[in-house]
Amino acid sequence: MSFPPARLQEIATQLLVLYGAEPSVAEDTAVSVVRSSLRGIDSHGFNLIPKIIGRVTKQEELVSQIQKPAELLIPGEGMPVAVVDAKLTPGQHSCLLAARIAATKAKQFGIAMVTVRNSTHFGAASPFLMELLKHGLIGMVGSNSTQSMAVFGATRANLGNMPLGFAAPVSDGTHFMFDFCCAVMSFGKLNRLKAAGDAIPEDAFQKNEHIAENALYTNAAALENLALPFGGFKGGNIAMMVETLSGLLSFGHYGAGTETMREGELHGPSHFVLAIDPSKFCPPGAEADFAAHMKKYVDELKASHPDISYAGERAAATMAQREVEGIPVSAELRSEISALAAEKGGAINWD
């Protein structure tokens, strides 16, 4: 069955509040996961809600605090920068907060950078890029993560797969947007290929013979496999760039200390949001409609070959379809969410 995006946001918010979430945390998390599902990123969308609840119920004192929202650690008043202290809230909330702050500052200063420290898994980068696109901004979003990738010839995990996204507005709404990790293949895709019985590319993984005891793997596949970087040496360096802009620039956790347990405390991952207002870069007398320029640019690109499509086109088509037809939710997921609500004395209305 499929459901309107607004209805799924209501259900996700309701369930998170039942488990003690402060309303703004619940609402931001719901918005973020539904935005991912709208674009077809179901593995990092509404499907994540039970996992977020699981963090709270199974290791509440260690892993996730949803009772209080993230807050500004460094407000950056009068400057195009800020730092958010996530306080281990869902990354969907803390990074959306950072995106809103970055958008406001970019409109004022032309460019803005906001980092988030001590967060949790934020899902996909797309929801936060979508927040920037609402304001006609160019954006880049990234996060560091548990060491699960072997780079530069290592035989053990020495970098996370570092999700990274970039977006630029296109006037017809089919925005240029990519959202991927720095590995040849994500663990989510690995699981989907295994479930379907499809072949796994030989250059995507190698056997993991050195499992870190204190690493909190969000995906069981990471226990057996080491991801390999796309482009070899180049992908490894891009992963290092993402961690520099997130974990190190936030003065948060990085390297082997990311998403690990240390003395009974979770060292949560860090994120960054970079926002650029293209209108501030327009020379006098030039056409100021950047999104129109992007439209002309991508049209010229597509005209060079009949089969060309650019990053963001397929997701935009999925989004247009799901805004009308709804987002599909499996019977198994509906049953799981209903059961979670019942445990707290609540009931989910799927009608």
Q: Catalogue the E-assigned strands of 144-259.
A: 164-168, 176-180, 205-207, 225-227
Question: Looking at residues 234-249, what average pLDDT do you find?
Answer: 97
CA distances from 256 to 124, 183, 206, 210, 212 (A): 22, 17, 19, 13, 9
The whole-number pLDDT of residue 335 equals 96
Residue bearing the bigger pLDDT, 224 or 85? 85
**Tokens representing residue 47 in the block:** 């499907």
Instruction: Dump pLDDT digits (tens) for 188-200.
Output: 777 777 777 777 7
Of 189, 269, 43, 214, the residue nearest 205 (C-alpha): 189
Q: What whole-number distance in Å separates Cα of residue 13 and Cα of residue 297?
A: 40
The structure tokens 């998403």 sit at 259
Q: Structure pTM? A: 0.93
Domains of the chain: 1-67+316-351 (1.10.1530.10), 70-311 (3.30.1370.60)
Q: Bridge partners of 328?
A: 2
User: Alpha-carbon distance 307 to 298, whole Å?
Assistant: 13
Check: CB of residue 49 under 8 Å from CB of residue 337: yes
The percentage of residues in the chain with a pLDDT greater than 90, rounded to a whole number, is 71
Nearest to 236 by CA among 148, 159, 157, 143: 159
